[in-house]
Amino acid sequence: MPRDVAFKQVDVFTQVPFLGNPVAVILDGSGLNTGEMQAVARWTNLSETTFILPSEHADYRLRIFTPLSELPFAGHPTIGSAHAAIEAGLVTPRAGRLTQECTAGMIDLHTEPDGRIFARAPKPSVRRVDVDLARLSSAIGAPIEADPAPALVDVGPVWLIVQVPSIEALSGATPDLAAVSMMSAAAGAIGISAFTIDTRMDAAERVHLRTWAPAAGVPEDPACGSCNAALGAYLGATGLLSRTGRSYVAPQGRQMGRDARIAVIVRSPEKVEIGGHAVTVIDGIIHLN
């Protein structure tokens, strides 16, 4: 039977509408099966659509879908959905803390006095990957550094992390999306995230990155929380945190006309947090069958 459900579209990692990364949030996904959720996500055609559900173990349970598949965890949908749940009065942080249940497990969140919401990513694992650097460079359309070598980082989604030599090389990257899809699949990753450390910038904003996941229906992600968590783990594993510090803010999406800001805190190799602001842009009702 058709029913109306509260719906929000939240712009994440920004305080200014249209400059972050939007997520569609269905505030009550009860009664929808996986196929129906996937159909809604395909229709919204955003990088992610989420469904808030009751949980016996956490403040709420979250299911996260790209237009093509379900994800065990994703950063900006987690931050945006927490913002939506708090704003709608579905949950109330206790001493600024919340717990989210998702396929990747329990996710601890906390709010800051400045309005930012932080989430601890699932325990990351970093491993070297044997990849043809020339082919990988051709796929993303930018030169790739051999030292430190590219790696696969698992934070729920698995990202192939690569370093490029400069902000100019990163900004000028012209990816071949078919090749990115092929090389991501061959490596066992959802997509590729390329980064650079610009030492000309203040230490707090030296990290810049771009992320492509065309096989998941996301040609380029304007602000990717999980890949920023993966990158934080990579920086820690490769010793590059000495150039950035354990706490920094990564801008992302400028090549797409956005200006997202993702805060990253690397507390230890096993504890990486990502966070930022979020703002509701659309608040209304979605008609579900």
| Ranges assigned E (strand) in the chain | 3-12, 21-26, 49-53, 60-65, 70-71, 97-102, 105-111, 117-120, 125-128, 151-154, 158-163, 191-197, 207-213, 218-221, 247-252, 260-268, 271-276, 278-288
d(CA 266, CA 128): 20
Q: Which residues pair with 111 in a beta bridge?
A: 117
- Among candidate residues 48, 101, 220, 273, the one labeled active-site is 48
Amino acid 113 reads P
d(CA 164, CA 144): 5
Task: Tell me the C-alpha to C-alpha distance, in Å, between residue 146 and each of 134, 150, 236.
Answer: 10, 7, 17
Do 229 and 104 contact (CB within 8 A), yes or no?
no
How many residues belong to the chain?
289
Query: If phi over 0 gives left and psi between -120 and 50 gives alpha, with beta otherwise, what is residue 203?
Result: alpha
Task: Tell me the C-alpha to C-alpha distance, in Å, between residue 154 and each of 1, 2, 85, 157.
Answer: 40, 39, 27, 6
Using omega within 30 degrees of 0 as the cis cutoff, is the peptide bond preceding 148 cis? yes
User: Does 205 qualify as catalytic in the annotation?
Assistant: no
Q: What is the DSSP string of 137-181?
A: HHHHTS----SSPPEEEESSSEEEEEE-S-HHHHHT----HHHHH
d(CA 21, CA 35): 24
Catalytic positions: 48
